[in-house]
Each structure stands twice: as structure tokens, then as C-alpha cells.
Amino acid sequence: AQSVTQLGSHVSVSEGALVLLRCNYSSSVPPYLFWYVQYPNQGLQLLLKYTSAATLVKGINGFEAEFKKSETSFHLTKPSAHMSDAAEYFCAVSDAGANSKLTFGKGITLSVRP
Amino acid sequence: GAVVSQHPSRVICKSGTSVKIECRSLDFQATTMFWYRQFPKQSLMLMATSNEGSKATYEQGVEKDKFLINHASLTLSTLTVTSAHPEDSSFYICSARERGGYGYTFGSGTRLTVV
């Protein structure tokens, strides 16, 4: 079984400040890890994914995440927050199986203060 | 990149009627389709997984006779909410996976309101 833990439900940062959204996973097999962003009343947009290649993954909109097996973590970061980053962020895990399903964390709301 | 078109984006229906939601993969073959339900301020709850040409596999607690899923082609999957009730009001999202692919492409979601 796989699971994802996203601690906290809300993170607030000032515009221009570092964004750090935490994600820890549990998986009995090598995991594939994903970060998605969701704006109100919209579907999910992929920010980045880890699929057993480089452990530091760069995504869209300046986001990146580092896979740390020893810490079972895949935290999402962005050096400088923009107002447009305010949204809901989901971390998710799957495995390499053909029909493998995504298991989502409960999500974190990011607010950006002017 | 891969795109999944989901329609309608919003639908209001009367209690007791049925509603069909469509998801189409526009530039790839969706061998596997996932259907999710999302309540306000909550995460996505997987309802069912379907493979093209096969019956859907429903998650525990999801009524298969109420939420009918059809995946008759590699580019189209539908979710029909039968005899809808106000408690079925929710945000429904589909996600498609290509054979051999690592990613999951999401539709834009459907806001269903049953009155």
C-alpha cells in the first residue's frame, strides 16, 4: 500500500519569499512521485514528477522538488513566491504498474501575501 | 502535451434525473481512465478505474449501479450519474493514462449540482 502525508492544511508566505510545501510518502515499492496544482473549479495541472531518474526534479513555473529516499520525502520548493502561485497543491504517489493509480495527499492551500 | 477534454464543466440537474460526463483524450490513446470525486476543501477520492474495452473496477463504497462508467474507445470515457440526488452534488474529475506512460493527464472537472 502507498500513502502520502502532507502536514498542515494551509501555508502563507509573502510575495517574493521562499515557498516550501512538505510531502512524505510511504511505499513498499520504488515510488513515482508527483506534485499537482489546482486552481478553484479547475482540474489538476502537473507541476513536476519523479520517475526514478534524477533526484532533483525541476518543474513548471519555477518549482522544483528533491526526492530523498532516506527521508521518504519529496518536498516542493520555489525560491520566490508570486501572487499567481496561490492555489491548492497536492502531492501524489504511484508505482510503475500499468494500471497503477495515484494516491493523493490531502492537499495544502498556499496563500501569498502582497 | 497531452490534453484531456472534459464536458460539461458545470451542470445543474433535477433530483431523479441522470447526468453524463464525458472525457476525451485529444492527442493520445487513453488505455486507462480514472474517475475522481472531490468535495469542497478536500482531496480527490478515486471512484473507479477503467481500461478500454473492459468493465470498470470500482473502489470500495462506490455504487457501480449509480455511477456507470463506459470506456468503449481509447479516446473516450463517460461517467453517468444515474438517478441523481442532492448528495451526489460534487466536483468530478477524470484522469487518463497512456499505455506505457508515466503520467496522468487530468480533465478540467465537472461541477455537478443536483437540485
Q: Does B39 touch chain A (CB under 8 A)?
A: no
Average pLDDT value over all residues in chain A: 93
Q: What is the 3-state secondary structure (H, E, C) of B9-78?
A: CEEEECCCCCEEEEEEECCCCEEEEEEEEECCCCCEEEEEEEECCCCCEECCCCCCCCEEEEEEECCEEE
Specify the pLDDT at position B16: 97
Residue keyed to cell 487518463: B96
Residue B103 CA to residue A96 CA, distance in Å, equals 10
Cα–Cα distance measured from residue B64 to residue B107, given in angstroms and rounded to the nearest whole number: 21
Identify the pLDDT of residue B56: 92
pLDDT, tens digit, 9 for 90 and up, residues A8-53: 899 999 999 999 999 999 988 888 999 999 998 888 999 999 987 7
In chain A, what residues touch B44 (CB-CB under 8 Å)? 44, 90, 104
* Residue appearing with cell numbers 512521485: A33
Residues of A in contact with B31 (CB under 8 A): 98
pLDDT at residue A36, rounded to an integer: 96
Model confidence at A98, pLDDT cuts 50, 70, 90, reads: low
Cross-chain Cβ contact B43/A41 below 8 Å: no
User: Per mean pLDDT, which range of A53-57, A72-76, B7-11 is the poorest?
Assistant: A53-57
Q: Nearest-CA distance from A51 to chain B in Å?
A: 7
Averaged pLDDT for residues A54-64: 95
Percent of chain A clearing pLDDT 70 (strictly above): 98
Which residues from B are below 8 Å from A45, CB to CB?
106
> What was the pLDDT predicted at A112?
97
Q: Do B106 and A99 touch (CB under 8 A)?
A: no
CB nearest A32 (choices: B44, B100, B102): B102
pLDDT tens-digit series, residues B81-93:
999 999 999 999 9
